[in-house]
Structure 1
């Protein structure tokens, strides 16, 4: 994966890999190009070549009542997806430590009104993530560019310590090609498998929590909500969660990473 995708150096747009004025191709709209301005995250976003232990936290309902919070927070670096809630009772099960968090357009649009109105509630909601890196898909689709820019400007204007950065569409295209070569057929990779892929390059020991795309618990067989905080279903036109999970299960069986599916 490192030799084909180069996530450490290319996952995030920087001045080094995408100089100002570069023409880049949207990874979701292959024929559409954009010219980059200054990156919101000029230094290299990952100061360490590798972390010893990393936790990638999905948002699956399997985390409900899991008691995995302390184990997640014990990891040296914690990656989370799509601005999940971490407080008001969730701490015990999902932890609060965050080094990197993604923010997809759906969350930004539905939960925060695309930042077209008051912006302070959005910035206040980010406080739980501290000074973590926030990855935005600014160059996946044309509509996501102005939205991601509004997020970055809002964070700057209201002086949030969180650090906005943009996914590099070249990396996302390489990542999609890599997983296709491994037999994964999906219209578009989920944020979860993108972050697992990045963690495999950044971390020596990768642990996954909250990755279970099915409606019944694997051990207790009781019914689960889709997410640990709501029951909104995945759009199957874009993501193939069971197929992705099968790939992760294979990596678990090979000892490449560790899937946590029981209570902690």
Structure 2
């Protein structure tokens, strides 16, 4: 279902290979890179940079959205990512958020009752999609630590064992409540069921 979409946005450099593709697809038109991933997984790109470039291969020539100008602390590592992409001649194409857009987005969601130190990448990408697309479908937006029906423990991402995001920065349950309201109003479609592979 994801691969059949006209435009696919993926958040925070998720792996698509190693049997994940049967659950999440592989098509990517835009992928985001959270600076914390660049810092923790790729050593802020201060040392060996090839692993970072190789990790981008599965996204082909998609757009890579870097929050270089959201906070001044993010600018150096995001620019190193751009220089690395250029130096290794990766086909991926870096793009940036306009800081005014991010500020206005924060003001808008605050006007809707959302109180968070920082908006999540998920709500930012949802907002962008709602502005650009006729039909918006969201997958993987479940901010709670247990399965909704079977109650077993869930990880924060499908590809790692991290339990929860940094709650001091994000208000994920509050964001989810807003997304659920938009789903109920028919503005977007939240897909909350288990992964469907198409296999019988």
Q: Quick one: which of 176, 180, 197 aligns to 1:249? A: 180
Give the C-alpha shift of residue 140 in structure 1: 1.6
- What residue is the counterpart of 1:101 in the other structure? 31
Q: Structure 2 CA distance, aligned partners of 1:226 and 1:99?
A: 23
Q: Is the strand fraction higher in 1 or 2?
A: 1
Q: Structure 1 CA distance, aligned partners of 2:192 and 2:71?
A: 34
2:142 matches 1:212: yes
Structure 2: 5+ residue stretches without partners: none
- SS of 1:205's equivalent? coil
Contact 1:133–1:162 at 8 Å: present in 2 too?
Answer: yes
Q: Structure 2 CA distance, aligned partners of 1:135 and 1:246?
A: 26
> Relative contact order, CA 8 A, sep 6+: which one is greater?
1
- SS of 1:149's equivalent? helix
Give the C-alpha shift of residue 141 in structure 1: 1.8
Q: Structure 2 CA distance, aligned partners of 1:239 and 1:231?
A: 19
- SS of 1:106's equivalent? helix
2:12 matches 1:82: yes
Q: Structure 2 CA distance, aligned partners of 1:90 and 1:218?
A: 22
Pairwise mapping of residues 224-235 of structure 1 onto structure 2 (< 5 A)?
Answer: 224-232=154-162, 233-235=164-166
Contact 1:102–1:134 at 8 Å: present in 2 too?
Answer: yes
Q: Quick one: which of 34, 42, 46 aligns to 1:112? A: 42
- SS of 2:135's equivalent? strand
2:75 matches 1:133: no
TM-score by length of 2: 0.94
Across the two proteins, how many residue pairs are aligned to each other?
A: 194
CA RMSD of aligned residues (A): 0.9
Structure 1: 5+ residue stretches without partners: 1-70
Superposition misfits of 4+ residues, deviation over 4 angstroms: none
Q: Structure 2 CA distance, aligned partners of 1:161 and 1:220?
A: 42
Q: Structure 1 CA distance, aligned partners of 2:172 and 2:49?
A: 32
Pairwise mapping of residues 114-193 of structure 1 onto structure 2 (< 5 A)?
Answer: 114-193=44-123
Give the C-alpha shift of residue 229 in structure 1: 1.2
Give the C-alpha shift of residue 231 in structure 1: 2.6
Give the C-alpha shift of residue 222 in structure 1: 2.4
Contact 1:219–1:262 at 8 Å: present in 2 too?
Answer: no
Q: Structure 2 CA distance, aligned partners of 1:231 and 1:239?
A: 19
